[in-house]
Amino acid sequence: MSADLSLSPILLVYAGPLAVAAAFFALSFAAAFILPLVSVFAHTVLYRLAERWAP
The per-residue pLDDT for range 19-37, each reduced to its tens digit, is: 899 999 999 988 898 889 9
Does residue 34 lie in a domain region?
Answer: yes
**Confidence class for position 8, pLDDT limits 50, 70, 90:** confident
Residue 23 lies in a domain: yes
Give the ranges where 1-55 is alpha helix by DSSP (H). 2-29, 35-53
29 assigned to some structural domain:
yes
40 domain-assigned: yes
Does the pLDDT of residue 39 top 60, yes or no? yes
Say if residue 53's pLDDT is above 90: no
Is 3 within the bounds of a domain? no
Q: How many structural domains compose the chain?
A: 1
